[in-house]
A and B are shown apart, each in its own frame.
Chain A
């Protein structure tokens, strides 16, 4: 039987209420950005030591989630698993929405967001950042074409080819995002090729988790439940991705521990970093790693509710992991003169401090709200949601 799709079926009141809440959070984010730009970045927690802060954690979270969210569509189109095909439209939509939300946060945190047009027209092609501008805008374009093909029955025959192209593109996209850190030669915490596959794995884990949460919410608003079969498959898949992330993290730290020069950064992240070490062990490894694995693979934790708890843990864990990578990596001082103690009036040789300002957090949550706003409007006007039970026509 041909799969039917439906729009968001909630009443107008509920719809406008949802839009109002999301719009308010997004608007607050915009006002927070306006406040930071107007006063200058000194009002944030960022400084000349910690140059990237909480906005970057949220922006990169959304960007990698976008890439990972598309995975469900890939499973259907590229790997031919028919069970996933009904979810492909929602997968493509969330991919586009998360990416736009992430880019909004990234752009609004720039020192000169008004120069976006410069960033779009003036390129230095040796910069991985410049490549990423193409990878991100290209991703939105390809995902939109992919969605069109999914919606247009006459184009169905191209879905495998376009799906494969989108699959490869997002692989390169997350490789590019990881390489933003991988290509930083001077920083002990970065400068490693493993950052690229690590980010690919993180994107699959957090993208699947966010897809589960958002899709479950949409079904719930429609008065339905995600089917048991989908839940079973997606939780197993999410568990495998979480395990893959943990594998790369172990390899990353074991490899660093082998290199004497990197002992300092390993010690800092794992034990001497104070809050950073706590976030690593509790946030990244426990909440984002061990607990989701228990939930996803434990026979006692079956069902939708546990699956969503597992997914929420993965999102929290990924935020922690990005915080450790971005903030922790910058907080650890540069070693200009190995074998010497360094001191200066510019915080050389000391661990940099950082505490996110409320505006940074509001900008980040504003980006998430903007993504959700796009999703809610889209599912209201177009039939994105697979009909679970046949309704009388």
Chain B
């Protein structure tokens, strides 16, 4: 059958329309992906927190207990605010990522006040015992819990020598988007990883510094030029339960 020239032209138009529509849809479909790539390789929010974490850095903290005031809870309050850790008036089950410990020497009676938090060990017992690998150490030394694969067995809480972990015992509200938590999972200090990845210091350190105490210094233990390395060089420091050989990322002076 012979084709009408008008029909041919309609067919061409239709083909063009479909080609252009497909290209447009393709672009639409690709755009979010391109946007993601853009965010991953540099973003436009000033700081790139998608950089690969490397072992070239080891984050750590220096605690000068001689500057830590008895009764002061600035670091604890800042942590609670930063991570939305409001209690339920149930001290036995309320989460504490950092707490103030008061010590009194049996023999001499000397008192010391210090903050106790996850010590971000190089060889953490919590990571060893975790059946699913939810507890893990980042390349840069920060010990974290992957809330997606934590089954809530609490074995890590038994294993932690520092009593640094809490279990989420109830439903949570008003969570901080940068610090997601989950009922039925275990959690602990993250060294404010969301801040550290943006080259900021943890909330507790910031609060202690802003209040003028200066008892906490945070930084890269592998960098000789960092403030924390300078402190550790200048003053004799110790690890809590050094006998366990865990190589903690938090070091104390004055205990």
Contact = CB atoms under 8 A, between A and B. Distances in A.
Real binding pair: yes
A339 B108 CA distance: 10
Nearest to B162: A336
A40 B183 contact: yes
A180 to B, nearest CB: 8
A103 to B, nearest CB: 13
A336 B99 contact: no
Contact of A342 (B101, B127, B170): B101
Contacts of A112: 150-152, 182, 184-185
Contacts of B93: 41-42, 47-48
B170 A39 contact: yes
B132 A348 contact: no
Contact of B91 (A116, A336, A339, A345): A345
B163 A111 contact: no
Interface in A310-353: 330, 334, 336-337, 339-348
A152 B180 CA distance: 55
B128 interface: yes
Given A185-B125, A185-B159, A346-B96, A40 B131 contact: no
A187 interface: yes
B244 to A, nearest CB: 6
Contact of A186 (B116, B161, B185): B161
Interface string B131-169: 111000000000000000111111101111111011111
A133 interface: yes
Given A112-B184, A345-B91, A118 B149 contact: yes
B88 A42 contact: yes
Nearest to B106: A339
B114 to A, nearest CB: 9
B255 interface: yes
B22 to A, nearest CB: 40
Given A48-B167, A345-B96, A124 B104 contact: no
A249 B244 CA distance: 26
A355 to B, nearest CB: 11
Interface residues of B, number: 57
A42 B169 contact: yes
A340 B149 contact: no
A118 B125 contact: no
Interface in A329-383: 330, 334, 336-337, 339-348
A341 B106 contact: yes
Given A40-B184, A111-B167, A185 B244 contact: yes
A326 to B, nearest CB: 10
A52 interface: yes
A391 interface: no
Nearest to B246: A185
Contacts of B255: 337
A41 B96 contact: no
Nearest to B103: A340
Given A42-B90, A47-B92, A186-B161, A111 B103 contact: no
B44 interface: no
Interface string A99-132: 0000000000011110110110011101111100
B220 to A, nearest CB: 26
Interface in A12-65: 37, 39-42, 47-49, 51-52
A253 interface: no
A111 B125 contact: no
Interface string A123-149: 110111110010000000000000000
A250 interface: no
A306 interface: no
A183 interface: yes
B186 interface: yes
A37 B184 contact: yes
Nearest to B244: A185
B76 to A, nearest CB: 9
Interface string B51-77: 000000000000000000000000000
A334 B161 contact: yes
Contacts of B169: 40-42, 47-48
A110 B92 contact: no
Nearest to A38: B171
B184 A110 contact: yes
Contact of A40 (B128, B168, B240): B168
A129 B129 contact: yes
30 contacts: A42-B169, A47-B169, A48-B96, A48-B163, A110-B151, A111-B150, A111-B154, A111-B167, A112-B151, A119-B132, A119-B151, A119-B153, A124-B133, A129-B129, A129-B153, A185-B161, A186-B160, A186-B161, A186-B244, A330-B158, A336-B162, A337-B103, A340-B103, A341-B104, A341-B106, A343-B104, A344-B99, A348-B99, A348-B101, A348-B116
Interface of B: 88, 90-96, 99-107, 112, 116, 125, 127-133, 149-155, 157-163, 165-171, 182-186, 240-241, 244, 255
Given A41-B184, A119-B131, A129-B130, 5 more contacts: A47-B93, A47-B169, A52-B158, A112-B151, A341-B103
Closest 3 CB pairs of A and B: A111-B152, A111-B184, A186-B161
